Structure 1
Amino acid sequence: SEWRGLLFAALDPKESLLDQLGSLPDELADEPLETYAATDQATVSFTANWKIYTDNFVEGYHIPGTHPSFYAAIDFEAFQTTAHPGYVRMTAPPKDGLFYRGKWLWMWPNWTLSLFDGGMNVSRINPTSPHHTDQHYHFFFADIAAETSESRAKSVQGTLAVVREDYAICADTHRNYAAGAYTSGPLSGRHERGVQYFQERVAAALGL
């Protein structure tokens, strides 16, 4: 199925694509996605379960300790995470010089979309085993002139630098889980709304 220039595939779909997208079409209704051209792609891998990475993506409290440069480039006190039908939205006002526009989206079950000025990236979180995940990134920009290649490269490389910092902490978390000493506890209503939404969707999909 196709939606706004993005292609989706499902081996055994349980619902239509629009039903799965939920409120996302309204969220992105004013974004000119179709005007962006595909420019770059990258696949990056890490040794952790895909759900650990997703838990990490849909909360922001790890940012100060994991992403010091990114933390310095946003108004972290205004960082917000909200859950909506089909997706989780994270927002923070960016400071001067940040390539991100200040909105990051994760969509059920395994893809993300992050906005730049004049562009975006999407990623597919692809589990290859219970202990390993590939993340496939695609980058899109409105301006693909040679004169603006440096600006585009900053967005691409900046994105990959941030996510590689996530991979390190996810691998550590995976090893801690594998040790068998972890005991689950309550989730924070303020900081982990996205985590709760994701985990509830996973549990429902598994019939738990």
Structure 2
Amino acid sequence: MKPLYVHPDIAYAKTIDTDFYLNPAYFEASKENIFAPSWQYLGETGMLNDNTTVYPITLLPDYLHEPLILTRDNAQQIHCLSNVCNHRGNILIPAACKAKHLRCQYHGRLFQLDGRFISMPEFQGVQNFIPENNHLPELPLYRLGNLLFTQLKPGPSPDTYFKEMMQRVYWLPIDQMVYRPDLSATYEVNAHWALYCENYLEGFHIPFVHPQLNAILNFKEYTTEIFPYSNLQVGVAKAGDVCFNIPADAPDAGKAIAAYYFWVFPNMMFNFYPWGLSLNVVEPKTPSHCTVRFIAFVYDESKLGSGAGSGLNTVEMEDEAVVQQVQKGIRSRFYHHGRYSVLHEKGTHHFHRLLANSFTNA
């Protein structure tokens, strides 16, 4: 793999080399350099209910393929554990269930719901077997309202990723958000995962690609703010359109904000609307294909179907069409780099810098 470099000054910078999208070696290396140390969405606390104390999850199933379990123990503590028995590698829990312990169905090894080893049948005579060294690996767990996130290997703290977002929208009733599967959707996109993300990270294309959204947002007041591992695009409503009721002590008091578009490195978008949150998770599959999950959480149903948070499927179709054209274009022998709009592409420049630095600092 050749070195990646993006100049820190957007006025001088070229976009990241197309080799990042096209060379399968980068796609493979991104698993450990980008995704494993980042915070990834697991699900929401409602998955662990009265009838379910154990919930298996495969994290990024077509890419990282990491089998995990969410458990809720007798003290109502939630844990994120490896779902692989440390005896012979069997998947411990194949389906969500209510259980007091975790028992491997292969040879009967038994664990507490917090991952602590309990027992193993027929292991008499095994030398140097230390029970304390046979607990299931427990992963860090970060909770944002009812949303759960984890990190597969040591990396920056969750505050590094989420602090600015939570400070900005602290006044939203995030704890009251209700998951709505009927409003959620999954899309298959024939494009590299990073191309999808970088399209999200600039409002430059809105007047050209999204006529319905452009009629709602005031493009002249559209802004982008950069943070260490996230950034924010603020969509201001045109006169009369639906916007947030922002308290007087909040940073955006007095502004007609129609949407907060928070992106969290590398693959999550938190789209806050007056009705709730559309969490978009981009899951890599191949260097030319990704899955995008729109996961909806509602706290004010009366505002559904209005403002910037309406017509999300239409906006998605418009984004997919242009991103899939870019996927074709980057294969051209005549294209390797572009330049950035200083006014409108700060978010994309920031993303490319983080990508390049992930390999430089590896």
| TM bin (shorter chain) | 0.7 to 0.9
CA distance change for structure 1 residues 82 and 19 in 2, over 3 Å: closer, same or farther? Answer: closer
- 1:152 aligned residue: 304
Q: Does 1:31 align with 2:172?
A: yes
Deviations 1:174-205 (A, max 9, x none): 10001232131432322111011111111111
Q: 2:202 aligns with which of 59, 67, 85?
A: 59
**Which protein has the bigger helix share?**
1
2:179 partner letter: A
Shift of 1:21: 2.5
Check whether the contact 2:242–2:274 (CA below 8 A) recurs between aligned residues: no
Deviations 1:15-56 (A, max 9, x none): 232233342221222222111111132111110111111111
Q: Does 1:5 align with 2:121?
A: no
Distance 2:159 2:199 in 1: 26
Shift of 1:64: 0.9
Distance 2:223 2:211 in 1: 18
Distance 1:142 1:42 in 2: 18
Check whether the contact 1:46–1:171 (CA below 8 A) recurs between aligned residues: yes
Q: 1:43 aligns with which of 183, 186, 201?
A: 186
SS in 2 for 1:168: helix
Distance 2:164 2:228 in 1: 6
- 1:72 aligned residue: 215
- 2:224 aligned residue: 81
Q: 1:163 aligns with which of 307, 312, 316?
A: 316
- 2:235 aligned residue: 92
CA distance change for structure 1 residues 70 and 56 in 2, over 3 Å: closer, same or farther? Answer: same
- 1:120 aligned residue: 277
- RMSD value, Cα: 2.2
Check whether the contact 2:198–2:348 (CA below 8 A) recurs between aligned residues: yes
> Structure 1 length as normaliser, TM-score?
0.87
Check whether the contact 1:119–1:140 (CA below 8 A) recurs between aligned residues: yes
Distance 1:93 1:19 in 2: 26
Check whether the contact 1:83–1:194 (CA below 8 A) recurs between aligned residues: yes
Distance 1:129 1:164 in 2: 20
Check whether the contact 2:340–2:349 (CA below 8 A) recurs between aligned residues: yes
Check whether the contact 2:203–2:222 (CA below 8 A) recurs between aligned residues: yes
SS in 1 for 2:282: strand
Distance 2:210 2:263 in 1: 19
Check whether the contact 1:22–1:85 (CA below 8 A) recurs between aligned residues: no
Mean Cα displacement is larger for which, 124-133 or 111-120? 111-120
Q: 2:352 aligns with which of 185, 199, 208?
A: 199
- 1:101 aligned residue: 258
2:271 partner letter: S
CA distance change for structure 1 residues 202 and 186 in 2, over 3 Å: closer, same or farther? Answer: same
- 2:298 aligned residue: 141
2:152 partner letter: L
Distance 1:170 1:105 in 2: 20
Unpaired runs of 5+ in structure 2? 1-140, 244-256
SS in 1 for 2:304: helix
Unpaired runs of 5+ in structure 1? none
Check whether the contact 1:119–1:142 (CA below 8 A) recurs between aligned residues: yes
Mean Cα displacement is larger for which, 184-193 or 48-57? 184-193
Query: Using CA pairs below 8 Å that are at least 6 residues apart, which structure has the higher relative contact order?
Result: 1
Q: Does 1:14 align with 2:171?
A: no
Identity %: 23
